[in-house]
């Protein structure tokens, strides 16, 4: 039985994201995707950006479906996914770190920060220096609040739905996320408006 999952949102947002990534990642070589989910972004972006090695990763429970999808695609630049996630113990960060060269020159994550608890968002950023090369880019897609305000009614309703499902989740304030990034030596270099009140925010190490 297939273990592949499916995300309608990934199908909707992949082309707008790709248009931005083509510009941002044209001089990059190795991308680590954190929170690959169903693996649809990994499959699509690896196919559309063949100059990149696209390394998918996620919670171990999701790896069989991602691996199945990538194996079926047969892309030479999309290796088997890694188990990797934000953890709070023994120290906040990303774990487990594989025994292989890291130093990725780009990190990508989509629709993750509003699903995690805030301590896990903090752990996500705390773990980035261990996987990023100097001058690496961090590209994060999803909804954000600015100055504590929702960017539209759809985000207000989405935030209410998230918190009803899990009170620890919710749309994050851009300024608070920027502070976490700055603490790890990352500065905001781009903030691109995307469809459906989403953003693609980019930091450089």
Lowest mean pLDDT among 41-50, 151-160, 169-178: 151-160
pTM exceeds 0.85, yes or no? yes
- The whole-angstrom separation of Cα 72 and Cα 150 is 40
Q: Are 93 and 86 in contact (CB under 8 A)?
A: yes
- The whole-angstrom separation of Cα 103 and Cα 185 is 15
- The whole-angstrom separation of Cα 204 and Cα 186 is 5
Each domain of the chain, given as residue ranges in start order, spans 8-87+99-204
Q: Are 136 and 104 in contact (CB under 8 A)?
A: yes
What's the pLDDT tens digit per position in 74-114? 999 999 999 999 999 999 999 999 988 899 999 999 999 99
For the four alpha carbons of 107, 112, 114 and 117, in that order, the dihedral sign comes to negative
Q: Give 204's strand partners.
A: 137, 187
Protein fold of 8-87+99-204 = Rossmann fold (3.40.50)
């Amino acid at each position: 039985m297939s273990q592949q999952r499916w995300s309608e949102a990934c199908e909707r947002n992949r082309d707008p994201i790709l248009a931005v990534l083509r510009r941002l990642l044209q001089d990059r070589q190795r991308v680590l995707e954190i929170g690959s989910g169903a693996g649809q972004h990994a499959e699509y972006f690896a196919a559309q950006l063949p100059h990149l090695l696209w390394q998918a990763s996620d919670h171990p429970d999701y790896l069989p479906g991602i691996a199945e999808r990538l194996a079926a695609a047969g892309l030479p630049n999309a290796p088997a996914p890694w188990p990797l996630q934000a953890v709070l113990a023994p120290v906040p960060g990303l774990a487990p770190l594989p025994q292989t060269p890291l130093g990725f020159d780009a990190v990508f994550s989509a629709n993750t920060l509003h699903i995690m608890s805030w301590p896990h968002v903090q752990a996500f950023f705390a773990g980035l220096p261990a996987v990023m090369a100097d001058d690496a880019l961090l590209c994060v897609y999803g909804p954000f609040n600015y100055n504590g305000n929702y960017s539209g009614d759809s985000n207000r309703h989405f935030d209410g739905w998230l918190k009803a499902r899990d009170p620890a989740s919710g749309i994050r304030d851009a300024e608070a996320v920027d502070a976490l990034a700055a603490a790890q030596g990352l500065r905001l270099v781009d903030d691109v408006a995307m469809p459906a009140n989403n953003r693609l925010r980019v930091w450089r190490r």
